[in-house]
Amino acid sequence: MPNINLILERRQEKRRMETLSRNLFFTLGGSLAVFVAIGSYLVTERFTLQGDVDEAERKMEKLKPILADIDRIKKETADKQPKVDTLEKARYDTLRWTMLFQSVAESLPKDVWLTNMGAAEGDPLVVSLAGSAPSQSKASDLALNLRKQVLFEKVELLSTSRIEGANHVEKDSRFVFQITAPIKQVVMPTAAPAGPNKTAQSTETSTGGNSRV
């Protein structure tokens, strides 16, 4: 009886070992397959990346002449920039006076006359206007209209005073005024051509005489 039990135990032990061996074999086989798959993927990715790098290097080689041209153009642009700035300043200086006279002409209310217009060079350029108006409100209207012009900033009506008309007739009396209008320090766009109603107007300034804009 003991011999039979011993044989049975040996058979069971043998079956367990066989089962364990099969499980170990399949486990090792599966792990090996996974490692092989991972290795194949990594090798494939490496060759793919290397191909991308080689392609990028070839493209960079083709782009080198273009990049060199871009650098040359940038250098030429930087070298010419002082000339461009000088020409732009000359253009602005020329255009500024054209726009100045046009802006003043557009701002003058009816029956308002200028007797003097000057400019004090500085930063910014300050335009001074002197003239006469039939009323203080008309002089204020001129200052308000100048403030609406894009060319000016901080327009100030400095003073107004009444002067008697001929033979002290009240209806002939007028108000003289002083206005200052600094010009904005910006490059102004090209002024639009004057319309038919503007071309008939002219701007004249004098030191002592009366002028109408």
- Out of 32-36, 124-128, 146-150, 168-172, which region has the weakest mean confidence (pLDDT)? 168-172
Interstrand relation of 156-163 and 174-182 (parallel, antiparallel or unpaired): antiparallel
HSE (side-chain half, CA atoms, 13 Å) at 155: 20
Q: pLDDT averaged over the chain? A: 78
- pLDDT band of residue 208 (cuts 50, 70, 90) is very low
Encode burial over 80-116: b for 16+ CB neighbours within 10 A, e otherwise: eeeeeeeeeeeeeeeebeebbbbbbeebbbeebbbbb
What is the rounded distance in angstroms from the CA atom of residue 147 to the CA atom of residue 164? 29
- pTM score above 0.85: no
Amino acid at the residue 109: P
Q: Would you state the pLDDT for residue 198?
A: 39
